[in-house]
């Protein structure tokens, strides 16, 4: 098998004059980098962000109330080795990553790997502000931009000046510099014939890197990667692939399409085959619609459904109110209500229920989520509880205006258009 006949497969179906060039841009160590803007004295040091609430540096700020933040001495900052609790790291600076510390790792574990790392609490409002700012910079230069979450976007470079020069490097450099000038933050960009390859490419030269992947690079750059690097192959799918001896993307590409379709289902098998061969013709979508909105919380201590009934009930109600408020603020109603639980042994279970009518009403969400909760094992203690509302449509686009004011229930007509499936991360 060679990649010699790949260019034909990757030819853009549309304008043959200009090859399709899609960029994926991802901010470097995003939360941590935003924190370093206010604490520049921590540059070059291992720093991790975690701990849920802004309380770790409150003492610090009180003690140094008269001192500008940038002048607080490094020795005054809290370090991981003094941390006691159950928090999880959201991200780590690159110097901290050298110790093996990274996203989603428990802080106690991270403390063993890098006790001297400085620990700062999360400040979502600040990250959201910077998220909006860097995206505005991109839109000014290259308006066809798809928002993929707090720190990443896809950009269609095809028709933008500089988007075809040096395979897209010229435009990528301009965007990187403009973001840095506007925010002081660095990012990494991958440019490729499609989203799938661009997403992988943006990781190749992190941090502050640019990487261009062409059709000819498939064999050399993509096939040696683990299947898990394909955006869309999650841990479960990866396990299934491994069980059949498929570890690398190249091994996946080597399998017969028909065999993959028989083994993994028609659609998924075909998609796996296309992905391994670098084929993806999804467009860059400027208006992204959320699929669902959710809120979740990790308890300070594990709670039991019976022994901690009151506390758990209050948390549950609050989560439902928060999701309802998110929906109403953003102008959405949803039909599928779900709960997520993490037990004390870290197992996760989810249950959902689809309503007859759309809703953004806290009481309806609470009642339905309560029904879902009845379907899970409540004998075990819980670490985490979450509430999700899915199958969203925009309240403003509801086809039956008479039912609009009553956010609680609106019947979905039979001919309602399918939802665009996009994700939006909500914190
Ligand atoms: P990422 O882009 O995955 O990571 P990053 O920007 O911190 O680092 P990189 O340079 O490798 O891109 O995620 C963006 C932000 O999302 C990250 O700064 C923190 C948050 N996040 C979490 O809260 N939990 C997680 O498990 C991950 C992966 C990210
Ligand atoms: Mg990032
Ligand atoms: Mg990211």
Taking ligand 3, which is a single-atom ion, which protein residues have CB atoms under 5 Å away? 26, 151-152
Q: What is the distance in A from the centroid of ligand 1 to the CA of 32?
A: 9
Ranges 42-56, 189-203, 258-272: which has the least confidence:
42-56
What is the arithmetic mean of pLDDT over 133-159? 96
| Residue 91 beta carbon below 6 angstroms from any ligand 1 atom | yes
**Mutation pick for ligand 1 pocket among 151, 209, 427 (CB with most ligand atoms within 8 Å):** 151
Query: Is the Cβ atom of 90 under 6 angstroms away from ligand 1?
Result: yes
Question: With bands split at pLDDT 50, 70 and 90, how would you rate the model's confidence at 54?
Answer: low
Which of 90, 121, 147, 384 should be mutated for ligand 1, with most atoms under 8 A from CB?
A: 90
Residue 9 or residue 44, greater confidence: 44
279 lines ligand 1 (CB under 6 A): no
What's residue 17's pLDDT? 79
Q: What is the mean pLDDT of residues 189-204?
A: 98
244-248 LR contacts (CB < 8 Å, sep 24+): 248/223, 248/224
- Tens-place pLDDT, residues 266-296: 999 999 999 999 999 999 999 767 789 999 9
Residue with tokens 């707090």: 150
Pick the ligand that lies closest to the CA of residue 207.
1
Element (H, E) at 383: strand 382-390
> Catalytic residue at 152?
yes
Residue 178, ligand 1, Cβ within 6 A: no
Q: Is 120 in the pocket of ligand 1 (CB under 6 A)?
A: no
Ligand (nearest to CA of 91): 1
Q: Which residues make up the environment of ion ligand 2, defined by Cβ < 5 Å?
A: 26-27, 30, 151
What's the pLDDT score for residue 363?
97
Is the minimum distance from the CB of 28 to ligand 1 under 6 angstroms?
A: yes
Q: Express each pLDDT in 6-41 by its tens digit.
A: 444 444 444 567 999 999 999 999 999 999 999 999
- Predicted pLDDT of residue 86: 85
DSSP state of 221: I
Question: Ligand 3 centre from 20 Cα, in Å?
Answer: 23
pLDDT tens readout for residues 73-125: 999 999 999 988 888 999 999 999 999 999 999 999 999 999 999 999 999 88
Rounded alpha-carbon distances, angstroms, from residue 7 to 11, 17, 108, 218, 253: 6, 15, 49, 10, 16
Share of the chain above pLDDT 70, in %: 88
| Spatial strand order in the sheet of 47-50 | 89-92, 47-50, 118-120
Q: Which atom of ligand 1 is nearest to the CA of 28?
A: 10
CA distance 191 to 205: 12
CB 272 within 8 A of CB 252: yes
103 lines ligand 1 (CB under 6 A): yes
Catalytic residue chosen out of the listed positions 66, 152, 166, 203: 152
pLDDT at 290: 79
Q: What is the pLDDT of residues 352-367, one digit of tens each?
A: 999 999 999 999 999 9
Q: Which of 168, 185, 167 is nearest to 176 (CA)?
A: 185
Mean pLDDT of 192-207: 98
Ligand 1: does its nearest atom lie under 6 Å from the Cβ of 352? no
Task: Report the pLDDT averaged over residues 137-159.
Answer: 96
Residue 92 CA: nearest ligand 1 atom is 7
What are the residues whose beta carbons fall under 8 Å from the beta carbon of 39, sequence distance 6 or more?
Answer: 69, 70, 72, 77, 120
This prediction's pTM:
0.72
Confidence grade of residue 152 (pLDDT, cut at 50, 70, 90)? very high
Euclidean distance between CA atoms 294 and 339, whole angstroms: 9
Tokens of 168: 């897209």
> Ligand 3 centroid to 310 CA: how many Å?
38
pLDDT in the model for residue 13: 44
């Amino acid at each position: 098998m060679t990649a010699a006949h790949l260019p034909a497969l990757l030819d853009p179906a549309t304008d043959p004059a200009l090859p399709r060039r899609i960029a994926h841009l991802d901010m470097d160590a995003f939360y941590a980098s935003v924190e370093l803007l206010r604490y520049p004295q921590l540059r070059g040091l291992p720093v991790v962000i975690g701990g849920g609430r802004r309380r770790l540096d409150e003492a610090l700020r009180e003690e140094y109330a008269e001192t500008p933040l940038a002048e607080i001495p490094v020795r005054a900052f809290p370090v991981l080795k003094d941390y006691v609790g159950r928090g999880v790291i959201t991200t780590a600076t690159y110097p901290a990553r050298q110790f093996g510390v990274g996203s989603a790792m428990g802080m106690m574990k991270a403390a063993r790997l890098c006790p001297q790392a400085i620990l700062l609490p999360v400040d979502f409002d600040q990250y959201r502000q910077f998220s909006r700012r860097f995206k505005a910079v991109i839109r000014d230069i290259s308006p066809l931009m798809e928002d993929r979450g707090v720190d990443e976007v896809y950009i269609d470079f095809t028709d933008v000046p500089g988007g075809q020069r040096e395979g897209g490097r010229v435009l990528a450099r301009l965007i990187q510099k403009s973001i840095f000038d506007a925010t002081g933050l660095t990012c990494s960009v991958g440019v490729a014939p499609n989203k799938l390859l661009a997403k992988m490419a943006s990781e190749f030269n992190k941090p502050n890197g640019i990487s261009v992947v062409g059709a000819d690079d498939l064999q050399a750059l993509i096939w040696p990667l683990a299947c898990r690097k394909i955006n869309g192959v999650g841990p479960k799918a990866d396990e299934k692939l491994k069980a059949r001896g498929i570890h690398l993307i190249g091994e996946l590409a080597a399998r017969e399409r028909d065999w993959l379709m028989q083994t993994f289902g028609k659609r998924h098998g075909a998609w796996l085959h296309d992905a391994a061969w670098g084929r993806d013709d999804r467009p860059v979508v400027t208006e992204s619609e959320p699929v669902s909105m959710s809120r979740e919380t990790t308890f300070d201590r594990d709670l039991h459904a019976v022994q901690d009934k009151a506390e758990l009930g209050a948390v549950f109600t609050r989560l439902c109110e928060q999701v309802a408020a998110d929906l109403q603020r953003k102008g959405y109603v949803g039909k599928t209500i779900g709960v997520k639980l993490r037990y004390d042994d870290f197992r996760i279970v989810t249950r959902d229920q689809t309503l007859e009518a759309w809703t953004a009403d806290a009481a309806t969400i609470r009642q339905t989520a309560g029904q879902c909760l009845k379907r899970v094992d409540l004998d075990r203690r819980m670490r985490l509880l979450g509430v999700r509302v899915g199958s969203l449509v925009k309240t403003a686009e509801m086809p039956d205006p008479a039912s609009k004011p009553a956010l609680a229930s609106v019947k979905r007509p039979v001919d309602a258009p399918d939802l665009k499936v996009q994700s939006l991360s909500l914190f």
